[in-house]
């Protein structure tokens, strides 16, 4: 079992088209145990100050009016177009002088690719091109056998082959060391994942999204460090953590990879936020035109802002619950501004709907805390 992930968060301070009287903070700082890599979780909307109600970093407001949110026909100029991503695990290096190093070398990076693909695809904030060629080949062969060559050719002609907007290349280093104390010892495994985002057509290494390096220790994924103790007699395993069993070693590294992917996902979610358009506001309640289909997560903290002629003005912060095609939320705190005051007044006596060329959007500020607890 995993220890509960404790994360340290970064400050999000980008303000577009508004004035702030002090520093804003949309994420919260907590201590990281066991030297685990840091991640970012969204601060609860109930803990926002007025200065925190700003459009988050990494969000691009230019071209919002061009967005159609049609998966197959999204305008290329829309900044919210779901990126098409392919993932590669490269450079599978091993290091260390610990017991069972030969089993660490057997861990297949392709299996790690599939694990990460599944987690990213489940967020519906990205379009993932799988590298599971074996499963694809099996299904195509089955379809051909059951439906025939004509049906297969027709189906294939109807499908558009996706080209990735960028690829994520991840290099891994797996290290094992054994620390001895007379006949007993402690196993110490480390998994490091270094990410690079590359434009496959220009060969340019991109600065966004910036995932960076992720480091996970075996002590981060066990209930007690005693589980890593081992007794070695005459140079061979006797009892404790069975470094000589390849299945045990692979299970440990799989747990560590899953923990590392948790960190990976929270960084991706912070740098590539979910967005929806506000259809109306009634009292403190608001309705959004998309939900899970646009990657909005349960208990999402979202900043509400007005967009007009390229200018952005925050209105408030809300907590949002999505359905499949839409979402509803509650504005927990209104911005102390004349615009927010005017909208709140209109929403208090009926349903406020944007008009006259103005639009109101909701944008997420990071990963909901419940996501780590319930989904990873």
In whole angstroms, what is the distance from residue 1 CA to residue 230 CA? 19
Q: How many CB atoms are located within 10 Å of the residue 329 CB?
A: 26
Q: How far apart are CA 285 and CA 347, in angstroms?
A: 9
Q: Is it the case that residue 102 has pLDDT exceeding 70? A: yes
Across the range 301-322, mean pLDDT stands at 92
pLDDT of residue 7: 36
Whose structure tokens read 């290091």? 95
Could you read off the pLDDT of 228-272 as tens digits, one per residue? Answer: 999 988 878 889 999 999 999 999 999 999 889 989 988 888 888
Average pLDDT over residues 170-199: 89
Q: Is residue 1 pLDDT above 50, yes or no?
A: no
Name the nearest CA neighbour of 310 among 54, 65, 97, 77: 65
pLDDT confidence of residue 159: 85
Confidence of residue 48 (pLDDT cuts 50, 70, 90): very high
- pLDDT score, position 68: 67
**Scanning the structure block, which residue is given the tokens 């049906």?**
151
- pLDDT value of residue 3: 40
Contact 347, 283 (CB under 8 A): yes
Q: Give CA–CA dist 103/139, Å, rounded.
A: 32
- 9 pLDDT band, cuts 50/70/90, is very low
Task: Give the whole-angstrom CA distance, residue 251 versus residue 98.
Answer: 17
The secondary element (H helix, E strand) that includes residue 205 is: strand 205-206
Instruction: Judge whether residue 25 has pLDDT over 80.
Output: no
- CA dist 61 and 208 (Å) reads 16
What tokens appear for 37 in the block? Answer: 């890599």
Cβ neighbours of residue 149 closer than 8 Å, sequence gap 6 or more: none
- Strand, coil or helix: 210: coil
Rounded mean pLDDT, 147-154:
91
Share of the chain above pLDDT 90, in %: 45
Average pLDDT over the chain reads 84
Question: In this predicted structure, what is the pLDDT of residue 376?
Answer: 53
pLDDT reported for residue 350: 92
From the number of C-beta atoms within 10 Å of its C-beta (0-12, 13-18, 19+), residue 138 rates as: exposed
User: Tens digit of pLDDT for each residue in 339-374?
Assistant: 999 999 999 999 999 887 788 999 999 889 888 777
Structure tokens at 322: 């999505």
Look at residue 354 in the predicted model and tell me its pLDDT. Answer: 86
Distance (Å, rounded) from C-alpha 185 to C-alpha 194?
Answer: 29
**Are the C-beta atoms of residues 275 and 362 closer than 8 Å to each other?**
yes
Average pLDDT over residues 121-147: 89
Which carries the bigger pLDDT value, residue 238 or residue 62? Answer: 238
Question: Is residue 29's pLDDT more than 90?
Answer: no
- Among 217, 210, 222, which Cα is nearest to 174's? 217
Using pLDDT thresholds of 50, 70 and 90, give the confidence band for residue 307. confident
Is 114 a residue whose pLDDT tops 50?
A: yes
Closest to 206 (Cα-Cα) out of 214, 215, 216, 196: 196
What mean pLDDT do residues 163-174 have? 92
Which of 68, 129, 116 has the alpha carbon at shortest distance from 89?
A: 116
* Rounded mean pLDDT, 28-48: 70
pLDDT exceeds cutoff 90 at 331 = yes
Question: Read out DSSP for 249-274?
Answer: HHHHHHHHHHHHHHHHHHHHHHHS--
The answer, yes or no, to whether residue 333 has pLDDT greater than 90, is: yes
- Please give the pLDDT value at position 209: 86
pLDDT of 122 > 70? The answer is: yes
Return d(Cα 118, Cα 125) in angstroms, integer: 12
pLDDT in tens, 13-23: 333 344 444 45
- Dist. CA 277–CA 69, nearest whole Å: 10
């Amino acid at each position: 079992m995993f220890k509960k992930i404790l994360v340290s968060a970064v400050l999000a301070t980008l303000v577009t088209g508004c004035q702030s009287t002090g520093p804003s903070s949309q994420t919260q700082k907590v201590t990281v145990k066991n030297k685990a890599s840091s991640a970012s979780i969204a601060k609860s909307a109930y803990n926002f100050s007025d200065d925190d109600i700003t459009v988050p970093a990494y969000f691009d407001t230019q071209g919002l009016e061009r967005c159609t949110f049609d998966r197959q026909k999204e305008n290329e100029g829309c900044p919210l177009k779901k990126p098409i991503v392919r993932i590669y695990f490269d450079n599978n290096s091993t290091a260390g002088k610990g017991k069972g190093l030969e089993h660490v070398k057997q861990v297949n990076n392709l299996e790690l690719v599939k694990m990460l693909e599944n987690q990213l695809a489940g967020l519906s904030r990205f379009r993932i091109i799988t590298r599971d060629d074996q499963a694809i080949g099996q299904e195509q062969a089955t379809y051909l056998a059951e439906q025939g060559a004509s049906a297969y050719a027709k189906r294939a002609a109807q499908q558009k082959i996706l080209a990735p907007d960028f690829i994520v290349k991840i290099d891994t280093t797996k290290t094992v060391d054994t620390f001895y104390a007379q006949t007993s010892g402690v196993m110490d495994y480390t998994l490091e994942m270094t990410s690079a985002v590359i434009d496959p057509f220009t060969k340019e290494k991109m600065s966004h999204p910036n995932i960076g390096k992720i480091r996970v220790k075996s002590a981060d994924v066990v209930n007690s460090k005693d589980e890593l103790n081992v007794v070695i007699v005459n140079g061979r395993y006797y009892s404790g953590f069975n470094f000589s069993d390849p299945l045990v070693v692979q299970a440990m590294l799989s747990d560590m990879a899953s923990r590392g992917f948790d960190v990976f996902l929270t960084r991706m979610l912070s740098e590539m936020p979910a967005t929806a358009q506000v259809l109306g506001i009634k009292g403190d309640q608001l309705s959004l035109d998309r939900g899970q289909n646009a990657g909005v997560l349960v208990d999402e903290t979202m900043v509400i802002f007005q967009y007009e002629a390229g200018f952005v003005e925050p209105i408030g912060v809300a907590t949002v619950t999505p359905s499949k095609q839409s979402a509803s939320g509650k504005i927990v705190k209104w911005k102390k501004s004349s615009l927010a005051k005017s909208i709140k007044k209109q929403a208090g006596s009926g349903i406020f709907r944007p008009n006259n060329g103005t639009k109101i959007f909701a944008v997420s500020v990071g990963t909901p805390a419940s996501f780590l607890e319930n989904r990873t």
